[in-house]
Each structure stands twice: as C-alpha cells, then as structure tokens.
Amino acid sequence: MVKGRRAIGLMGGTFNPIHYGHLVAAEAARDAFDLDQVIFIPSGQPPHKSEVFVANPEHRYLMTFLAIVSNQRFEIARVEIDRSGPSYTSDTLSYFNSVDSTVAWYFITGADAILDIVTWHDPESIFRHAQLIAASRPGYSLKKIQALERQLGPESIARVHPLEVPALAISSSQIRERLKQGLSIKYLVPEAVEHYIAKNHVYGALKA
C-alpha cells in the first residue's frame, strides 16, 4: 500500500497512573490505522477531575515516559503539562494542527471518554482538528456512539472510528484504590511504573 499523508495518533489522558489498558488501546490503534506514531499527552490540570487525587504532573509525565520508552513508535509530549490553566483537548489538537497541518491527526479515546466528548470544551473544534478512534473498553458500549449523532451531526460522527481492542478491565482509579488498600498492582502497570510509584511514594505510603 502506498501511503500518502503521515498519520499520527494522539493519546490524551490523566495517566494517574498509566496502565496496560492505555498501552494496549494505543498499540491497537497504531496497528489498525497504520499510524506512524502515537504521542501520549499527559494532561496538566484535568478539568474533569477536581474531586480525585491527581498526582503531580511531573510524576505522571515520568511514569508515562517509563511506560512508552521501549516502543519505537510511541512518543510523549509535554504540551498540556507546560500550558497553564485547564487542559483542553481542543487547544491541544489545534496546537498539533498548527505544528503540521499535512498530518492526518487521530485522537484516541476509550469508549467512556468518547461518550463524554459532547460535554468537553469546544467539541466542534475537536472534530475539526482530528478524526477520533474510539477504543472498546470493558463496561462501556461503543454502540452508544450513534446516539452522539443527534448532538454532533452526521459530519462529526463520520469522523469517529470505533475500534475493538483486547479487553483489559483496568482503570487508574482501580489502581489508586488498590494502592490505598496495600494490594499489588503487578501486571496491571509496566514494572518500571510499579517501581517508580513505590520508590517515590506517588500515591502515599505503599507496598513495594
């Protein structure tokens, strides 16, 4: 296949902490859409998460870096961490488009996040600047995407691509809860992330 434009995936998240669910979804999207790379973008100050404990951005950046470093096609960007104020995906996608408008940008989300997208800041701008890959996630149905058509219109919905990915019922909330209870997080996150959390007490005093 002769490929024209470069295609790059953008995987946004709080990554509080990053886990195998994020990595599997990103790799499945890279493979299915023949993406040249996937850039992980840890959020700065997440606009939706004021009620939960969010580890300091530098810890989340370093954990994400440790998780992706061994994949040749995974990269990480500090754009949201270095921007002051709330991290809006619309600003991030507009930023990447201004860096290179010849690239086909794909924003990767899980099935839960895609259904929320209408509540995010400036959804029209999100759809203008990227196509969306909606990865399946245990507990959430990709079938509900069709219901977004009423709110977003047919043009936007045509830019959403559902993708079945290997099902991993892992969430960062569950990992934080396990850490709080002194339970193991082995095999839920990459080993380097597990060690980083323990060494730096990212989520309090933890089991090693």
Applying CB under 6 A, the residues found at the interface with ligand ATP are 13-16, 21-22, 25, 109-110, 112-113, 135, 137, 168, 170-173
Residue among 152 and 165 whose Cβ is closer to ligand ATP: 165
At closest approach, how far in Å is the CB of 47 from ligand ATP? 12
Residue among 156 and 172 whose Cβ is closer to ligand ATP: 172
At closest approach, how far in Å is the CB of 51 from ligand ATP? 11
How many residues are there in the chain?
Answer: 208
Judge contact between 63 and 193, C-beta under 8 A: yes
At closest approach, how far in Å is the CB of 100 from ligand ATP? 23
Residue among 35 and 170 whose Cβ is closer to ligand ATP: 170
Read off the tokens for 94.
């507009």
Residue among 2 and 189 whose Cβ is closer to ligand ATP: 189
At closest approach, how far in Å is the CB of 84 from ligand ATP? 20
At closest approach, how far in Å is the CB of 104 from ligand ATP? 19
Residue among 28 and 152 whose Cβ is closer to ligand ATP: 28
* Whole-angstrom distance, CA of residue 172 vs CA of residue 186: 13
For 47-143, strand residue ranges (E) read: 74-76, 104-110, 131-135
Judge contact between 163 and 32, C-beta under 8 A: yes
CB-closest chain residue to ligand ATP: 110
* Whole-angstrom distance, CA of residue 108 vs CA of residue 173: 20
Q: Sheet containing 37-42: give its strands across.
A: 74-76, 37-42, 7-13, 104-110, 131-135, 160-163
